[in-house]
Structure 1
Amino acid sequence: MNKKTKSFRDRLKEKAKAIGPGALIAASFIGPGTVSTATEAGASFGFALIWAIVFSIITTIFLQEMAARLGVVTGHGLGEAIRDQFEKPILKYSMVIVISFSIGVGCAAYLAGDLTGGALGISMMTGIPQNYIAPVIGVIILILGLTGSYKRFEKILISLIAIMSVTFLTTMIVIQPNLSEVFQGAFVPSIPSGSIVVIVALIGTTVVPYNLFMHASSAKEKWGSPADLKKARWDIILTITIGGLITIAIMVTAGAIIRGTEKAGIEALALALEPSLGGWASVFISIGMLAAGFSSAMASPLGAAYTIGGLTKWGTSFDRWQFKAIFCVVISIGIITSAIGFEPMQLILTAQALNGLILPIIAISLLIVMNNKNVMGKYVNSLKLNLIGGVIVVIVSGLGIYSLVDAVSSFMDAV
């Protein structure tokens, strides 16, 4: 009996130790933008769009599995693989420049929002202005980047995922939503009038281009042998599914208590939770927002550093000064813009358009690399994975075109 118990504990510890790179990805896509989008989706359409989150999580798992497999099998990141895949200098350097610029600008442009969103959590409890708190969060992350290591980031982000899980899943359980409606929204796709923009936003905040680079590089740091692929897949399925459940919990909570209200922001959600949670309502939502902002703000400059460092072959580890330099530049831009309250709308719209374009480019490049036997050996994609990957590429290409058109329209309206 004791032997069996010990064996179970050993297996449990082994699975717990396998958690790591996937947590970085989950922490990356559960940011203030995801919280706001999920809240808006629930407030506007109830539980009808849960299926979009389910779809985006399945898509993310498939793409991230390929990226992680690449890192574990080859010992190289996606950036290095893409650079080596294309031999013609014009194509190679065009890819390097376009992807590096798009992701670098995108991460820098959105980081201020992550810092400000995290600051909102503290501001809701203290009343201190967000532009005072956001730079402090940014400086903390900057110090962690300069003095830390991959393992430290991994531990912090796993902790933040745990905090968000407890916070948002608890609020969903407390309000006791109609489970039959929840399951219907999850497995019976529908597109209510006016919901297409929200659906694109829900998928776009989950399937993030730079996460593919970050996952390949972090996976090769975590595991050094193809024998570890089973652990890598366990990590991916567990952590990204938890990330999806957190997003679903936010949407369900909003759909149950603030659907149809005029004010559908995160503050309105906290206020509407007071009958169920009392004075703890604001605390729960504030902690959730702080964790979401902090986690995404940590992952964003990290993703930029992994992407640009890999594509340029400057290095994808914390012991390379170039890697830390990229991290510092991105986080510094976020600190400055969040401190002055500057919202670089035109820059954000440009980043949105570029990221919409490069997502299918990166997905196609990943598929090409994963079918290169000289690189992957016997671990190349199966026919089934290629078919699924092909469908994903078609869908993300459609999303990319839509995002580009939407960004250009918004840019013209702003001008």
Structure 2
Amino acid sequence: MPLAPNALQKNQSLWEKLGPGLITGAADDDPSGIATYSQVGAAFGYGLLWTALVTYPLMIGIQIVSAQIGRVTGHGIAANIRKHYPAWLLYSLVGLLLLANTINIAADVGAMGAALKLLIGGPAVGYAVAFGVISLTLQVFIPFPRYAPILKVLTLALLAYVATVFSVKISWAEVLYRTVIPHVTFNVGYIVAVVAVFGTTISPYMFFWQASQEVEVQRATDGQEPLTQAPWQAWRNLRRIKLDTYVGMAFSNVIAFFIILTAAVTLYQHGVRDIQTSAQAAAALRPLAGEFAFLLFSAGIIGCGLLAVPVLAGASAYAVAEAFEWRIGLGREVMQARGFYTILTLATLLGVALNFTAIDPIKALFWSAVINGVIAVPIMVIVMLMAARRDVMGKFTIRWQLKALGWSATGIMACAVIVMFATWGQ
């Protein structure tokens, strides 16, 4: 079964039980995220390794809540917002999500093109176009049951960042000490870096994607129904969601940790403090950490980009299609869900096209982060409120543990947005 197991089977391996949570977590470490983690590692060394420990439980909380909304109701987040909240709120949030995701796609395919140019030479923009077309082709023309395992395998590309660290000499005792007992400073640069890490790690598209993928899994599995209609299926499915999300978010944060660490032990320690893109980080590694580290880091950018771009485009398509009550799903033929595939195609192609404009990709990525930060908080508030409503979740309203984690994540993201605007221009 793609993405997630048939909930009625009992003898599946851990790999078979992983799906939407693993893919969502891995997609969070996209080329844009790699750039952010490289920047903070280069600028502050070990100073922000602790953030991976803090973001992990927060991600678990909000992602499990999102996944449960999809599996319990049989509808994604946008569809549930449409049903229970004002139309203006739905269209505003979905429009901003589409804008932010498209800019993110542009940055990601651009980074992939730049990484391949570093490896083999040639035109970076041409490679970016090729990566965009490949990603789009996979989503549109490969049936869901065969496409989902491709995404799952692509998550393994991120292990390149674990391998990169072990290609250089590290004092692991110091790393452990600085992670568990960090030296936190309160200057503007450090605070902005913390905000950047939180904003990169907890992103709105992840909520929409994981919820909608749970719907896809349910529809693609014989005998499975939304839990409000088939409550006897709840125990195995909710356990599977919990395991999948715990592992997926752990994977995401471990990779983020190792990217920061790689930049800290190479770039920071050699005085390279200003990194703007993931490709710059890869190029800077070459003389400092050697050819092997450079090759791993560059290949990882391409691999995780191939995973992240379809997730970003797919999240946009799910959100827009649900908002307008169109047929949705990668499990449908193109002609059965024309609106859904149109949005998916436009988001990908517009992202590719932005690489041919005079728009500064660094500034574009900055504005994408700003938009994501602004819309993340109201979306998280709505998600948490919906998950506690009996008219939405029936008897499967979330328990107090998930409420605590989810609202903690929401509060911290709200603080991050406030800090972002308070330090604007400083």
TM-score, length-normalised on structure 2? 0.85
From 309, 313, 321, give the equivalent of 1:301: 313
Shift, 1:28, TM fit: 2.3
1:244 — aligned with what?
Answer: 253
Distance 1:397 1:39 in 2: 24
1:51 — aligned with what?
Answer: 50
Shift, 1:386, TM fit: 2.0
From 283, 286, 302, give the equivalent of 1:290: 302
2:163 — aligned with what?
Answer: 170
Shift, 1:359, TM fit: 0.8
Q: Closer, same or farther in 2 for the Cα pair 1:186/1:315, shift >3 Å?
A: farther
Q: Name the aligned partner's letter for residue 239 of structure 2.
A: K
Identity %: 22
1:219 — aligned with what?
Answer: 214
SS in 2 for 1:46: helix
Distance 1:337 1:281 in 2: 30
Shift, 1:340, TM fit: 4.8
Equivalent residues of 1:57, 1:206 under 8 A apart: no
2:175 — aligned with what?
Answer: 182
Equivalent residues of 1:83, 1:96 under 8 A apart: yes
RMSD (Å) for aligned C-alpha atoms: 2.3
Deviates more, 1:381-390 or 1:316-325: 381-390
Question: Structure 2 unaligned runs (5+)?
Answer: 1-8, 219-223, 225-232
Listed as ranges, the matches of 1:12-411 within 5 Å are 13-86=12-85, 92-165=86-159, 167-192=160-185, 193=187, 194-223=189-218, 224=224, 225-226=233-234, 227-260=236-269, 261-262=271-272, 264=275, 265-266=280-281, 267-274=283-290, 279-318=291-330, 319=332, 320-340=337-357, 342-343=359-360, 350-404=367-421, 409=425
Equivalent residues of 2:192, 2:423 under 8 A apart: no
Distance 2:90 2:197 in 1: 28
- 1:272-324: CA deviation from partner (whole Å, max 9, x where unpaired): 111xxxx4233212211111222222211111112222222223302221111
Deviates more, 1:363-372 or 1:260-269: 260-269
Distance 1:18 1:334 in 2: 33
Q: Closer, same or farther in 2 for the Cα pair 1:302/1:34, shift >3 Å?
A: same
Shift, 1:351, TM fit: 4.0
- 1:47-67: CA deviation from partner (whole Å, max 9, x where unpaired): 221111222222111100011
TM-score, length-normalised on structure 1? 0.87
Shift, 1:151, TM fit: 3.6
Equivalent residues of 2:34, 2:259 under 8 A apart: yes
Q: Closer, same or farther in 2 for the Cα pair 1:327/1:209, shift >3 Å?
A: same
User: Which is richer in helix?
Assistant: 1
Equivalent residues of 2:109, 2:128 under 8 A apart: yes
- 1:240-287: CA deviation from partner (whole Å, max 9, x where unpaired): 21121111111112111221523644111233111xxxx423321221
SS in 1 for 2:249: helix
Query: When the two structures are aligned, how many residues end up with a matched partner?
Result: 390
